[in-house]
Amino acid sequence: MIGLIVLALLGAAAAAPTDDRIVGGYECTHHSQPWQVSINIGYHFCGGSLINDQWIVSAAHCWQNPYSLLAILGDHHIWMYEGTEQYMSVDAIYWHQSYDYQTLDYDIMLMKLAHPVTVNQYVKPVALPKACPTPGDMCTVSGWGNIYTDQVFNPFNLQCVQVPILSDKDCEGSYPGMITERMVCAGYLEGGKDACQGDSGGPLVCNGELQGIVSWGQGCAQPNYPGVYTKVCSLMPWINDTLSRYS
């Protein structure tokens, strides 16, 4: 019986949000990612991206009761009040009806804020993609997640890392049979640079457009295991439909 429980737990761990996976990055220039959101339940636990003055996109596996959430925008040092922050309550959350918590397919949700944000130099939406990204495109991932591969250390200041979009072939080669059309890989096959625990739901921005949402991966920054992101371009019909229906 114990053996079964351990296997069940291991199985759950493989796709659990703790694998939500910045390692090998640097402190972002202050407010250079003005769409970055910290989703807070008394502490930071996931990232998100502001896509217009009242909506945030994040990963479905970051879901919590909306009334327990606070969305913090305009932040850089997560524990220090800097005077640029906007604290927003969340009115409603819509996650994709096809979301699969085991495979993390369709790992996307939209959060409607109770009130519009004040758009300024610190808080600004990111553009949604007009087309899908091309392998080799350089992108920026940002977040307050773990910055080590082998121990937990969550930084106070927002971290950024530059990673390239990988081809579908390389992505599938790293994760045989696990990659769907709603996923895109970014990173280096030699490892060393990646998103990590606590970055989940945050932005992968390529050429000024939100192309990915931090979703999952095998460890963080491990060789041959690049980060896997929800592929925003493939979900634009759902995003547009949800926004037009509930805005």
Strands (E), the chain: 26-27, 36-40, 44-52, 55-58, 70-73, 86-95, 109-113, 138-143, 159-164, 183-186, 203-206, 209-216, 227-231
Candidate list 19, 107, 194, 199, residue with the active-site label: 107
Catalytic residue check, 61: yes
Strands (E), 97-195: 109-113, 138-143, 159-164, 183-186
Catalytic residue check, 30: no
Candidate list 49, 174, 200, 215, residue with the active-site label: 200
* Residue recorded with tokens 């997640």: 145
Candidate list 31, 61, 76, 96, residue with the active-site label: 61
Q: How far apart are CA 104 and CA 92, in angstroms?
A: 21
What is the end-to-end Cα distance of the chain in Å, rounded? Answer: 50
Q: Residue 169 is inside which H or E element, if any?
A: helix 168-174
Q: How far apart are CA 247 and CA 242, in angstroms?
A: 8
Catalytic residue check, 31: no
Q: How far apart are CA 214 and CA 158, in angstroms?
A: 15
- What pairs with residue 95 in β-bridges? 109
Cα-based angle 79, 81, 84 (whole degrees, multiple of 5): 125
The catalytic site residues sit at 61, 107, 200
